[in-house]
Amino acid sequence: MKNFQNEVKKLRWGFVGTGKIAQRIMVAFELVPEAEVVAAYSRNIKAMQEFCDQWEIPKRYETVEELVNDPEVDIVYLATPHIVHYEHTMKALQAGKHVLCEKPIAMSAQETQGMVDLAREKGVFLMEALWSRFFPISVWLRELIASGKMGKVSNVMADFSYQAEYDPEYRFFKKELGGGAMRGAGIYPLSMAVMVFGEIPCEIKAMAETRNGVDLRSSALLRFPCGGTAQIYTGFQSESVWAANIAFEKGAVYIPNFWHPDRAYIIRDGEAVETVEMPFTFPGFQFEIIETMKCIQAGRTECSVMPLEESIALAGVMDEMYRQWNVE
């Protein structure tokens, strides 16, 4: 962190949303002294007051408009359900605030495009907070691919699925609240495949189990313009191993817990020949926070690790999957 402290001045953050994800992210903010959380908003006033008391956040707002118009807030972290990401992000951008928005950034490519257009019009920073991109192992993987040491990548297999108790009123399972496994969890394996190939799939074959207009689990086969392929799986109704397997010409890379990885294995002839370990301090959100602050300090309005055009394209891929499932 010492080098970072020399590079970046303090930024004042406002939190929109104070639920479970916000609690986890606040642990990471404690690891980045240059990131000062000065304000918070939640529609649940009692929970917001408790959140602010716990983390010693001085300003507590009962409307999003009040928070985003606070001149002492430089950047907004959106930790609300994705059904309201568009509404909250547009309000923050319109007020001239930088925004780091939890994944998925929006409910559709159209919404994402609107957010990107406004951010560019206002000249402010916007990024989808896909934390998996910023872990040291993810950086190592991108560098390995770019080096060509293991040849070209031909295939990616990635899965992220877990068992959640079905409750038709809970937001995971309720269409009106933005429910669905692909947007909620599937963005991780989808993003991994796109990151590895460095391009958006040109062919998508997806299938899903749906109930009440919500995808409970799904699989997809993807083909990329370079000729590479990927198989991804996600869901809220079954357990999977949470791993990524990347097939190269000269071996493979296996990454357990690829969405927040601390190690990877280089595989040849079915055996691990090298272990790459890159431990990190829990929880890991600090990497995206630091990268965001570096970008803003450098005057950049987007991040090359998670570019805005890619967020639009990822949303478009998910739009196509939902179209194939007849789920709008």
Q: What is the pLDDT of residue 328?
A: 75
Answer for the pair 134, 226: CB distance below 8 angstroms, yes or no: no
pTM to 2 decimal places: 0.96
Q: Is pLDDT at 3 greater than 60 in this prediction?
A: no
Q: Is pLDDT at 176 greater than 80 in this prediction?
A: yes
Q: Is pLDDT at 189 greater than 70 in this prediction?
A: yes
% of the chain beyond a pLDDT of 90: 97
128, HSE (Cβ side, Cα atoms, 13 Å): 32
How far apart, in whole angstroms, are the C-alpha atoms of residue 144 and residue 32? Answer: 28
Q: Is pLDDT at 317 greater than 80 in this prediction?
A: yes
Q: What mean pLDDT do residues 236-262 have?
A: 97
Q: What is the pLDDT of residue 288?
A: 98
Q: What mean pLDDT do residues 188-201 have?
A: 98
Place of tokens 């499932």: 325
How far apart, in whole angstroms, are the C-alpha atoms of residue 256 and residue 262? Answer: 8
Tokens describing residue 221: 């086969």
Q: Is pLDDT at 1 greater than 80 in this prediction?
A: no
Tokens describing residue 9: 């001045």
Residues 6+ apart with CB under 8 A from 4: 32, 34, 290, 294
Q: Is pLDDT at 72 greater than 60 in this prediction?
A: yes
Alpha-carbon separation of residue 220 from 64, 74, 109, 239, 291 (angstroms): 37, 39, 19, 17, 31
Question: Which tens digits make up the pLDDT trace of 138-158?
Answer: 999 999 999 999 999 999 999
Average pLDDT, the chain: 96
Residue 98's SS3 state is strand
Q: Which of 4-18, 77-91, 175-189 has the lowest mean pLDDT?
A: 4-18
* Exposure b/e, 161-177, CB count within 10 A at least 16 = b: beebeeeeeebbbbbeb
Place of tokens 């991804």: 232
How far apart, in whole angstroms, are the C-alpha atoms of residue 122 and residue 175? Answer: 32
Cα-trace Rg, the chain: 20
